[in-house]
Amino acid sequence: MDIFLTVLVFGLLLGGIYGLVSIGLNLIFGVVRIVNFAQGELVMFGMYGGFFAWHWWGLNPYLSVFLVAPLVGLLGVAIQRLVIQPLQHEPNMQIFATFGLLMLFQNLMLMASRGEAYSVGGQVGSTVLEVGDLKLSLVRVVTLLAATLITIGLHLFLSRTMTGKAIRAVTQDKRAARAMGINVEKTFLITFGIGAALAGMAGVLLTPIYSITPAVGGNFILAAFAVVVLGGLGSVWGAYLGGLIVGIVEAFAGFYIDPVLRSAVWFVIFLIVLVVKPSGLLGQVGAEEVGFREQH
C-alpha cells in the first residue's frame, strides 16, 4: 500500500509537469485549433531563458519567469504573424511549417550550445519536503501548484474576460465573430502569444527539474498533444485532468510493467481515446471538428 501511494504521488507530480507544458498547447491547439509542433521548442526556449538568467545575473527561475515568459510570448506572436497566419486555413501546411520550425529551433540551439547540457545549480532543485512517510521534491510540488493556478487563471480568462470570450467566439465561427466586431486576426495573435508565453513559463519553471538540452522539447510535444486530446479539446480542466492521467499512467506503467514501456502505455491509451472518442474525456461531442470546418 505504501508503495502504491508513493507511485501515485509521484505520478501526480509528474502529471503536474505534463499539465504545465500542455497548458499553452491547450490554448493554441485545444482552443483555436492551430497545429503547432514547435510548442516543445517554445518550452525549450523558456528553459534556456531561465538558465541564462540564472547563469548571467544569478536570477532565481521563479523570478526570471516574469521576464522570460513574455519574451517567448513575443516570439510566439512573431511565429503566428509570419508563419501561421498565412496558413490559417491549411492545417496540413501548418503541420509542415511548424515541424520545420521544430527542426530549425532545435538545431539552432544545438549549433549555439554545441550539444552541451546545462542545468541550474543551487539548493532549490534538491530540496525535499517530508509529509509523513512521503518524500516530495519541492520543485515538483511547486510545478503541480503552478499548473493548478495557471489552469484556474486560464479558465477565468476564457470564461470571464471579453478577450477570452472573443477567443472562443473566433474558434466557433470566424465569420459570425467578425460580424460581431471581433478583430479575428488580432485575436489569433493574442491567443498564440499567450499560448507561447505559457510554454515559455512552463520551461522556466521546469529548469530546476530537467537538464537543458536542445532536444528537450521532444520530451514534451507528443505528451502535450496527448494531454490536450485526452482531456478534451477546448476544455481547460480537461487538459489539467489529461495531464494528471498521463502522469499517473506513466508512473504506474513504469513501476509495475517496465520503465522502458512507460510512455508506450499512455500512447496506446491516447490512441484509443483518439479513435473511440476524439472529442476527449471532457470535450463536447464534435469538438474535434470545430475550427477545422470550412470557414472564411
Q: Pick the closer one to another protein by CB: 12 or 288.
A: 288
DSSP string for residues in 5-59: HHHHHHHHHHHHHHHHHHHHHIIIIIIT----TTHHHHHHHHHHHHHHHHHHH--
Contacts with 35 (C-beta within 8 Å, 6 or more apart), sequence order: 29, 91, 94, 95, 98
Q: Minimum distance between the CB of residue 171 and another protein, rounded to whole angstroms?
A: 15
Cα dihedral 243, 246, 249, 252, rounded to 10, equals -70
Residues that bind another protein (CB under 8 A): 35, 83, 86-97, 99-111, 114-115, 214, 222, 225-226, 229, 258, 260-261, 263-264, 267-268, 270-271, 274-275, 278, 288-289, 292, 294-296
Q: Pick the closer one to another protein by CB: 7 or 93.
A: 93
Q: Minimum distance between the CB of residue 26 and another protein, rounded to whole angstroms?
A: 14
Q: Pick the closer one to another protein by CB: 240 or 270.
A: 270
CA dist., res. 164 & res. 181, Å (int): 15
CB under 8 Å, gap of 24 or more: what pairs does 177-186 form? 185/85
Q: Pick the closer one to another protein by CB: 164 or 214.
A: 214
CA dist., res. 136 & res. 155, Å (int): 28
* 128 strand-pairing partners: 137
Q: Pick the closer one to another protein by CB: 115 or 153.
A: 115
Q: Minimum distance between the CB of residue 91 and another protein, rounded to whole angstroms?
A: 5
Q: Pick the closer one to another protein by CB: 125 or 278.
A: 278
Q: Minimum distance between the CB of residue 295 and another protein, rounded to whole angstroms?
A: 8
Q: Minimum distance between the CB of residue 292 and another protein, rounded to whole angstroms?
A: 6
Residue with cell 527539474: 209
Q: Pick the closer one to another protein by CB: 25 or 59.
A: 25
Q: Pick the closer one to another protein by CB: 144 or 226.
A: 226
Contacts with 184 (C-beta within 8 Å, 6 or more apart), sequence order: 170, 174, 177, 178
**188 membership: H or E segment, kind and range:** helix 184-206
Determine phi and psi for 130, rounding to 5 degrees: -115, 115
Q: Minimum distance between the CB of residue 33 and another protein, rounded to whole angstroms?
A: 8
- Widest Cα–Cα separation across the chain: 59
Q: Minimum distance between the CB of residue 6 and another protein, rounded to whole angstroms?
A: 24
90 within 8 A of 100, measured Cβ to Cβ = no
Q: Minimum distance between the CB of residue 114 and another protein, rounded to whole angstroms?
A: 7
44 within 8 A of 109, measured Cβ to Cβ = yes
